[in-house]
Amino acid sequence: MDEQYLIRDIEIPCVYHDSNFISKSDADDYYETLRTTIPWQKTAKINRWVRLYQAVDDVDESTIETTTSDGDEDGSDEGTSGYTYKDAPPVEDDKNKDNNVIGAGYPELIQSIRQQCQDWYAAANPHCKQDDNIPSFNICLLNFYEDGQQRIGWHSDREEIGRTTPIISVSLGASRQFLLRSQTDGRNDRCSLNLTSGSVTVMEPICQIKYLHSVPKESDVVNGRINLTFRCK
């Protein structure tokens, strides 16, 4: 990856961030469109609104993410519950909604953001000289945090479909803190990113093995934030 985007505050170079990925005006429009058109749902295991989309075919139950999604912001995982893709409501009923569905799953706006992500990743990654080397971000998990009271605790995204592809995440709406800490030396090897609206963050595969991440509570944040996390199946 292009080192201009590298987060240098952690020991292993595996996180990249671009605060100017999407213009402010477009980010505002994207946020409002997604907030008002996505059929958001909650489940018993999570404290945020979520939606899951897959670019081709309906969501495959073998696509699993295990996290400690409701951990305390101080890093305690007591009382947490595991979270899997199967906990996220499927997209199959959206085909009868007003959303313009692309292929079998992605609404038009999410398809557009996905393409922007793939183009950005290819431009920032010298190894992506051929189409075959560009990851196909064909799974998108959306999280809607209504305000700073909603958060996600310390976790790593353990993909049962493989750890050889990156995870790319787009933030829209209110700025929130994104915390990273080493799984073995969390006191010394850690950092905080300010995820502003329109920013993009990439975690390379090793990040899920070596680090945990979280979005803590922020009582002074009164507006909502939408996060789109794209993965490769």
How would you write the pLDDT of the chain (233 residues) with one tens digit per residue? 889 999 999 999 999 999 999 999 999 999 999 999 999 988 777 778 999 888 764 444 444 343 434 444 344 443 333 344 545 555 444 444 444 333 347 899 999 999 999 999 999 987 765 556 677 888 899 999 999 999 999 998 765 545 678 999 999 999 999 999 999 999 999 999 999 999 999 999 999 999 999 999 999 999 999 999 999 87
Query: Is 231 among the annotated ligand-binding positions?
Result: yes
Residue 77 near residue 68, CB atoms below 8 Å:
yes
Strands (E), 15-135: 15-18, 49-54, 65-68, 82-83, 101-102, 106-107
Parse the chain into domains and list their residue ranges.
3-231
76-83 long-range Cβ contacts below 8 angstroms, 24+ apart? 76/153, 77/153, 77/154, 80/153, 81/45, 82/45, 83/45, 83/46, 83/155
Per-residue model confidence (pLDDT) at position 38: 94
Architecture of domain 3-231 in this structure: Sandwich (2.60)
Q: Which of 105, 175, 172 is nearest to 140 (CA)?
A: 105
Question: Was 16 annotated as part of a binding site?
Answer: no
229 in a labelled binding site: yes
Q: Is there a binding annotation on residue 225?
A: yes
Does residue 125 have a known ligand-binding role? no
Is 213 within any annotated ligand binding site? yes
CB atoms within 10 A of CB 119: 11
Q: What is the CA radius of gyration of the chain?
A: 17
- Which residues, in sequence order, are CB contacts of 3 under 8 Å at separation 6+? none
35 is in an annotated binding site: no
Cβ–Cβ < 8 Å for 152, 81: no
Beta strand pairing call for 106-107 and 101-102: antiparallel
Q: How many residues would you count in the chain?
A: 233
pTM higher than 0.85 = no
